[in-house]
Structure formats: structure tokens, C-alpha cells
Amino acid sequence: MDNESIKEDKNSKGDFFDWSKDHIRGKNTRNDTIAMWIFIIIVLILGITMVIMINTSKR
């Protein structure tokens, strides 16, 4: 089990490094930045809604 999980971690790291190399080269950078901004906006909206819900539930 441990060896398999370590292999999975190495594979995921390799994929991430491959993606970062492509990102540095300038391959699909525009799509990546758009996706990143969409992700950040979604996270911000979720965080704001959570804070509002917590504040309203306390009252």
C-alpha cells in the first residue's frame, strides 16, 4: 500500500512539473490564466457566502 501511494505521489508531482514547464514555455498560458482567475473568483464567492451564512446563523 505505502509503495503504491508513493508511486502515485511521484506521478502527480511529475504531471504538475510537466504542466509548470509547459506554462513557463508559454504553451496554453492564456487558457491557464483564465481558468486560474475563474477558480479564484469561485473560491472568493464561496468564502464570502460562507462568512455571510455564519454571521446570519450567529444572530
pTM for this prediction: 0.44
Instruction: Please give the distance of CA 57 from its chain centroid, rounded to a whole number.
Output: 29
User: Do residues 28 and 22 make contact, with C-beta atoms less than 8 angstroms apart?
Assistant: yes
pLDDT in tens, 10-29: 555 556 566 556 555 656 66
What residue spans define the domains of the chain? 2-58
Confidence of residue 49 (pLDDT cuts 50, 70, 90): very high
User: Do residues 23 and 32 make contact, with C-beta atoms less than 8 angstroms apart?
Assistant: yes
